[in-house]
Amino acid sequence: MKDLTIDVSNVAPDVTLDMINAEKENVQKQLETLTNKTGKGNDFLGWLDLPEEISPDQLMSIEKTAARLRGKADYVVVTGIGGSYLGARAVIDALNDSFDQLKGGRKNPFILYAGQNIGEDYTYELLDLLKDKSFGIIVISKSGTTTEPAIAFRALKELLETKYDKDEVKERIVAITDAKKGALRTLADQEGYETYIIPDDVGGRYSVLTPVGLLPIAVAGFSISELVRGAKKMRELTAINVPFEKNPASLYAATRNLLYKKGKKIEILVNYQPKLHYISEWWKQLYGESEGKENKGIFPASVDFTTDLHSMGQWIQEGERTIFETVVSIAAARHRVLIPRDEGNLDNLNYLAGKRIDEVNKMAELGTRIAHTDGGVPNIRIELPELNEYYLGQLLYFFEKACGISGYILGVNPFDQPGVEAYKKNMFALLGKPGFEKETEAIKKRL
């Protein structure tokens, strides 16, 4: 069976194969630090062994809960922000029919999202949609006090309580939270909600293989056992005993850090499959929040090709040469559509008649990679044989493992996010939250 592959041959002349191989000793040292859990942030490395530690009984429990929600609700609202929703959305959007919401005869609920913003119009429109619909809630928060999801959950819970009695509300809410403490844990215990635990040693952006990601994915009707199986295989392919030149996570971490040293400060994650848009969003949080510290770190950006070739293509081709691309490519499309012949041929496309649309897409990818490489944009390519749960499991774990190695190469703690708190303190002070009086006075002096 084929696996995820990585090609770093198109990063020259900025970075040569000899330069990559010269990093072997250092990268292996960082991989050992990660594997042995002896580096910075080692109390947040529970995700490393998740693929091996998730038991069939745990998966069965999640599937049972998912089946209950599927049986009760036409809509399930995943309420969380950052890593509490991005991993699940990445997988669900990648596997869903692109026009799922417009088609009838559904077997599974529509998965909607709340608490990922503070948009009043968004919240109003969501509540307006749900007021005469059958819905349930998966609320995800370790503390239960994160502003965005806490506001959304208040509003959604209130609506649910106007539609159903207390026992039915209890059946329609699942809380994924801390094992013992926090506002959401307290509420769930008081109200009798079913709960799943966010492990203490797994940070939000690494949590897709916990119930945080697995429950919404299962509710959407996708195989979480296959997702975990793919991650388990990638854990083997990136293990400490795998030779450097065959370890995709080590190669990726080494290459992107060498490019960074060469002045390539921006990494653009590229896909040619629109279903991967939220994979890119998940990836941006993973790498941005993990590496952007101490005035260091590659800036993670993303584009959806060929769509964005008509908006960003010019800048990428001829703009400032501070970028490199990592292309995620899918070897085989899931469906088959042939381009028809047209007798008039006014669009001059008959030379493509009889070809699959995916063949045209693949040639667009190859042509663009050549053009961008010729234009001074180094290019890493990651290929998945197919777009399914198994290979998405491989991809997600690959990026997580490579991120840990890469952060250690950079010399930062890839598992904390101290900078995220700065905006929160200012927001709380401006809103008059109790306990932030000093910050409020300080801000008033600046305004």
Enzyme catalytic residues? 289, 310, 424
CA 84 to chain centre: 10
Distance, in Å, from the CA atom of 316 to the CA atom of 373, rounded to the nearest integer, reads: 10
Q: Which residue has the tokens 């619909």?
A: 133
Distance, in Å, from the CA atom of 141 to the CA atom of 157, rounded to the nearest integer, reads: 15
Backbone angles phi, psi at 99, to 5 degrees: -115, 30
Contact between residue 397 and residue 231 where contact means Cβ atoms under 8 Å apart: yes
The separation between the first and the last C-alpha atoms of the chain, rounded to the nearest angstrom, is 62
